[in-house]
Structure 1
Amino acid sequence: MHFKRTLIASAILCGQVGLAQAGGYVETLPAAAGWPSGKVARAQAGGFVEGSKATLTLRNYYFDRDFRSNNPNLPARINDVSQSQAWAQGLILRMESGFTEGPVGFGLNVLGTAGFKLDGGPGRTLLGNDLLPSDPVTNEPGDNYSELGLTAKAKISATELQVGTLSPTLPVLLSVPTRLFTPTFRGAYLRSDELDNLTLHLGHIDRMNVRNSSNYEPLRVNGPYGRFNEAAESNRFDFTGLDYRWSDSLVTSYNYAQLKEIYQQHYFGLVHTLPLSEGSKLKTDLRYFNSREDGEARAGKVDNQSLGLRFNWLTGPHSLMVGYMQQSGDSAQPFIYRTDVHVHSELAMTSDFVNPDERTLGVRYDYDFVALGVPGLRGMLRYIHGDNIELPGVDHRASEIERGVELAYVVQSGSLKNLGLRWRYASNRNDYFRDIDETRINIDYTLALW
């Protein structure tokens, strides 16, 4: 079957990043500065069984990327592809135990995923869409794939250690559900809230599982358009971070990451909220990355500074954001392969806007239709313009523009309560690759098993 304009797909409304159920939007990091989405509990809640919970998410996802132009500088095998399209059904089982009683509490988390192809063929997956696994030779998408991840956990007071399958949501490693499944990693992650207002993060990862695979593989850096050598591998990613809440209105954070023999990265973030008139506030969000190559520099030269500043005015059902971001140095901003990058364009659909020397201006408007008597419905308009791009093989300073619109609805009552629907469309016009029109349509439903 070929479903060009199917109205079925999904965006999980649960998970470690926390999708806002009122609107279904991905909120990458609370306060946008690496502040954890929830404090580690300061006391053991219940027991191993008594404190457990489980959910099953049914996720249906449709992805359609149309290429609207050709580029004479690209090979014919790329120009000949007119569309990247897939439709899949996913099942996500999450089981989280409580902690055993005693000074040290022990527990176990289970993550089970299964994806099934509903539509898609080799002619529509040649350039990839990360929704289904595909054969590297024939490009034929697989009919199904599945994975079972286990995470052992231990807690003392307000410090928790997790070992096994991880999906961190930190500025230096942003693992969010932008496809059927969230990318996962194998390693250890410690988070501590022992000191008031201070959160400590420590972690080590040695393998990754990309969002359309069930196999763990060595770590790599994201490097489209020849920005880095994506084939370069590493078996070690270490990270640490500190988040400090100075007051209810000011949060700062620092993170450090090292992808061994590929790159090192420092991150500084600040979020300040200024109350204005009653029901209005102005949020200022500053993000700075400084990245250099590490050791053998297997993926190539890394020399990047990324500075972003945005202001978000919120009043009643309205939210208006204006932001500017500047890349400087001799390379693009590095981040882990097939994850997202924690910059002000993180919700963009078609590009990451972190190319070498790129300057980006973005405007976004959100509206909550509860003000018109339709609770659960939200809309968004977005415009992002990037220019001054310097890429290998491109003989000019390139530019790109993304225009986007989204509608999301969550059923508020009745037998379908919490059913989430989300439609997203974006167009990208650029002069270094190919013009793109992209549609994603999402439907998901999460059942609480206990």
Structure 2
Amino acid sequence: MPTRPLHAVFARSPLPHAVALCSVAMSLGAQAQGFIEDSHANLTLRNYYLDRDYQDDGAKSEAREWAQGFILKFQSGFTEGPLGFGLDATGLLGVKLDSSPDRSGTELLPVSPSSGRAADEYSRLGLTGKMKIDKTLLQAGDLNLALPSALSSPSRLLPQTFRGGYLTSSQIDGLTLHGGYVDRIAKRNSSDYEAMTVASPNGRFNGRATTSHMAFVGGDYALTPELTLKAHYLEVADLYEQGYLGALHRIPVGPGTLSTDLRAFFSDENGSADAGKVDNQHLSLQFAYGLGGHRWTLGHAHQGGDTATPYISGTELMGISEMTMSSDYLNARERMWQAIWDYDFAAAGVPGLTARLRYVRGDNIELAAFGVDDRKEREAQWEMGYVIQDGPLRGVGLRVRQSFYRNDFPAGAAFRDENQTRLMVTYNLPIW
């Protein structure tokens, strides 16, 4: 996508501006106890390499880029009194380390649609005002959402955020209420806010249709220490609406713990239905058993109705297929199975080292835009991560993820046969 010159967004980068904002906040805090006393700031460094090696006969044989991200966050405390006020600021900067027009498009960096060339750098500054009364918090401005139907994507160089207002309340013990209204999205590889659209891989919906806003309400209730129930509703004006019901139950079984995770999404078109027909019931059930450092997971998801599951482009849906690398497994009528093994090596005396093996398979897929059905896809994935525990590099995190994805989709489909590799080095530096 085309990007404005950096001077049109910030003078050079958002980092000096965020620092200046923190200085202003400190001067304000001198007049308001708690604003600064409870504040903190940190800088996260994220070095990210992503390589898609396509295994089909498509026009592009690979997408491979390397970039460095800087995430500077300031979070204030609240002014004293029954009604407290605060201010948060996030400065984001992404810098290209390696890319070229013939292999751009990993979504680590913005790309010009005319030349295919990735931007040398991109940046933005997010400001969030906040107001707190007892256990009720109102935020306005740049928002990071973690809703079942709208998860701010953390899976690239810089985080994806929304613009709007968000109210959370935990006045009743065990119950957290959510409500909000957002009108723009800042995607993970963009400097600007833009109108929201529905994700449309494989031509599922009209991905060009935009919405004026998204509104949501919901609640999470810990009925018992072992059982949490969730109910949420989201409306994306003139595109679609989506209800969500979920239940998470944990109980000791033998020497370990058994978790049962039930999630259900119910989606229909909304208003003028500019994205086209929406008719989907997404049901999933997942069991996980944890013992020592091991965790074994088995899950199944079933798509009912005539269309795929809708979600906002640039975000992620919190289904059980979340955090897969090469597909979303949300196609119309798809039946998805997955098996996961996680291991924390702290149980074996190596703290900071973790591993995962994952296999995902989907079948009975209908791709209406291509006039085909009964298609299949599968993905084998492994990853390892390590956070250095001692020495001068203490706190540096290293992670490698790799997947091998195959399907029998027709040529031109969004998800292509590929071998994908991601390498990440992260470091979080507390400033105060």
**TM-score (ref. length: structure 2):** 0.90
Q: 1:440 aligns with which of 422, 426, 430?
A: 422
Q: 2:324 aligns with which of 342, 348, 361?
A: 348
Letter in 1 for 2:245: F
Q: What does residue range 255-274 of structure 1 map to in structure 2 within 5 Å?
A: 255-274=232-251
| 1:396 positional shift | 3.5
Q: 2:268 aligns with which of 292, 295, 304?
A: 292
| 1:397 positional shift | 1.5
| 1:341 positional shift | 1.2
Letter in 2 for 1:261: D
Whichever structure has more strand as a proportion of its residues is 2
8 Å CA contact 2:237–2:270 kept in 1: the answer is yes
Alignment pair present for 1:60 and 2:47: yes
| 1:371 positional shift | 2.7
| 1:372 positional shift | 2.6
Alignment pair present for 1:115 and 2:91: no
| 1:386 positional shift | 0.1
Letter in 1 for 2:336: T
SS of 1:397's partner is strand
| 1:373 positional shift | 2.1
8 Å CA contact 2:78–2:86 kept in 1: the answer is yes
8 Å CA contact 2:153–2:314 kept in 1: the answer is no
Q: 2:82 aligns with which of 92, 103, 115?
A: 103
Q: Which runs of 5+ in 2 are unaligned?
A: 1-31
Identity of aligned residues (%): 47
**For this pair of structures, how many residues does the alignment match?**
395
SS of 1:122's partner is coil
Letter in 2 for 1:417: R
Post-superposition, which runs of at least 4 consecutive aligned residues in structure 1 deviate over 2 A?
A: none
Letter in 1 for 2:91: G
Structure 1 CA distance for aligned equivalents of residues 286 and 114 of structure 2: 44
Query: Match for residue 383 of structure 1?
Result: 359
8 Å CA contact 2:86–2:130 kept in 1: the answer is yes
Structure 2 CA distance for aligned equivalents of residues 259 and 341 of structure 1: 14
What are the Cα deviations for residues 334-378 of structure 1, in whole angstroms up to 9, with x where unaligned?
Answer: 011111111111021111100000000100001111233211101
Alignment pair present for 1:82 and 2:61: yes
Query: Match for residue 311 of structure 2?
Result: 335
Structure 1 CA distance for aligned equivalents of residues 348 and 373 of structure 2: 48
Q: Which runs of 5+ in 1 are unaligned?
A: 1-44, 71-78
**TM-score (ref. length: structure 1):** 0.87
Q: What does residue range 226-375 of structure 1 map to in structure 2 within 5 Å?
A: 226-278=203-255, 280-375=256-351
SS of 1:92's partner is strand
Query: Match for residue 47 of structure 1?
Result: 34
8 Å CA contact 1:169–1:176 kept in 2: the answer is no
Structure 1 CA distance for aligned equivalents of residues 275 and 54 of structure 2: 28
Structure 2 CA distance for aligned equivalents of residues 348 and 268 of structure 1: 22
Query: Match for residue 225 of structure 1?
Result: 202
Structure 2 CA distance for aligned equivalents of residues 181 and 87 of structure 1: 13
Letter in 2 for 1:59: R
| 1:191 positional shift | 0.3
Query: Match for residue 42 of structure 1?
Result: none
Alignment pair present for 1:416 and 2:393: yes
SS of 1:132's partner is coil
Say which is worse superposed, 382-391 or 413-422, in terms of deviation: 413-422
| 1:277 positional shift | 2.3
8 Å CA contact 2:153–2:188 kept in 1: the answer is no
Q: Which has the bigger relative contact order, CA under 8 A and spacing at least 6?
A: 1
1:394–1:440 CA distance, 2 compared to 1 (3 A): farther
SS of 2:347's partner is helix
8 Å CA contact 2:168–2:177 kept in 1: the answer is yes
Letter in 1 for 2:189: N
